[in-house]
């Protein structure tokens, strides 16, 4: 007789993929990559794990309880490779911050269910970004519930330290004031910074060369003058003061 009840010897499988696409369009994808990339840069070298579209399993033994936030941040967990985020293998630490980026296919009911799921499994801050309306909904845990933050314009994340602006265009800023950029924009910024650094170095090098040339020319002129004075029978040391 067959049975669907697992035995003690059955291994529970936690798939690394749910078969769903990471993004439905380039706008959603750009926001996902921007958030994950900037957060990883912010927390580089720290005990903070940042990932995008990674399956999170909060309950050992039940692989059906899972979700894949567009971005998640787990403080106190080391960065590095994960096939999925199995909470019991992470000292029981739930991701404290999650981001979701809306796609045209998301429904209100779906997003309400996500909010309830994150509230139930310990998320401290939840940010729902609507890139089509340049709007963000923020929920921060208080009194054991995720509570809506209003107004969001100028709000600063208690855990991440990032600032949100909604003045006609949705923007996120790192704690150092730098605006979140796509990876392409960030590469361009870094290249521009490197270009300016190289130009400044070259200017300093040229000034040093010019100063050295002027010093060499002055010394050559001084030696020529000494030679002329000697031709006239004059001791240069009686006339010229030591250089410098």
Per-residue pLDDT of 111-143, as tens digits, reads 999 999 999 999 999 999 999 999 999 999 998
Per-residue pLDDT of 46-60, as tens digits, reads 999 999 999 999 999
Is 6's pLDDT higher than 60? no
Model-level pTM?
A: 0.74
Band of pLDDT at residue 243, cut at 50, 70 and 90: low
Is 2's pLDDT higher than 60? no
Residues 6+ apart with CB under 8 A from 135: 129, 166, 170
User: Is the separation of the CB atoms in 135 and 166 below 8 Å?
Assistant: yes
Mean pLDDT of the chain: 87
User: Is the separation of the CB atoms in 154 and 136 below 8 Å?
Assistant: no
Per-residue pLDDT of 148-173, as tens digits, reads 999 899 999 999 999 999 888 899 99
pLDDT average, residue stretch 49-75: 96
Is there a cis peptide before residue 151, judged by omega within 30 degrees of 0? yes
Residues 6+ apart with CB under 8 A from 239: 229
The pair phi, psi for residue 166, each rounded to 5°, is -130, 30
What tokens were used for 195?
């270009």
């Amino acid at each position: 007789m067959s049975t669907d009840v697992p035995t003690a010897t059955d291994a529970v499988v936690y798939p690394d993929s749910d078969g769903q696409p990471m993004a439905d369009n380039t706008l959603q994808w750009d926001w996902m990559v921007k958030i994950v990339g900037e957060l990883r840069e912010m927390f580089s070298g720290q005990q903070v794990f940042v990932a995008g579209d990674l399956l999170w399993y909060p309950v050992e033994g039940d692989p059906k309880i899972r979700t894949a936030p567009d971005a998640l941040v787990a403080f106190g967990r080391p960065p590095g490779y994960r096939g999925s985020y199995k909470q019991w293998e992470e000292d029981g630490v739930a991701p404290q911050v999650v981001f979701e980026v809306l796609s045209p296919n998301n429904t209100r009911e779906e997003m309400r269910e996500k909010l309830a799921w994150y509230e139930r499994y310990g998320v401290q801050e939840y940010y729902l970004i609507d890139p089509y309306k340049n709007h963000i909904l923020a929920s921060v845990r208080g009194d054991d519930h995720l509570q809506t933050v209003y107004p969001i314009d100028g709000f600063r994340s208690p855990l991440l330290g990032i600032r949100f602006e909604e003045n006609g265009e949705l923007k996120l800023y790192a704690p150092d004031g730098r605006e979140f950029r796509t990876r392409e924009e960030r590469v361009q910024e870094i290249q521009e910074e490197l270009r300016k650094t190289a130009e400044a170095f070259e200017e300093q090098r040229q000034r040093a060369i010019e100063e050295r040339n002027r010093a060499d020319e002055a010394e050559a002129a001084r030696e020529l003058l000494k030679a002329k004075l000697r031709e006239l029978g004059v001791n240069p040391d009686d006339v010229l003061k030591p250089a410098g």
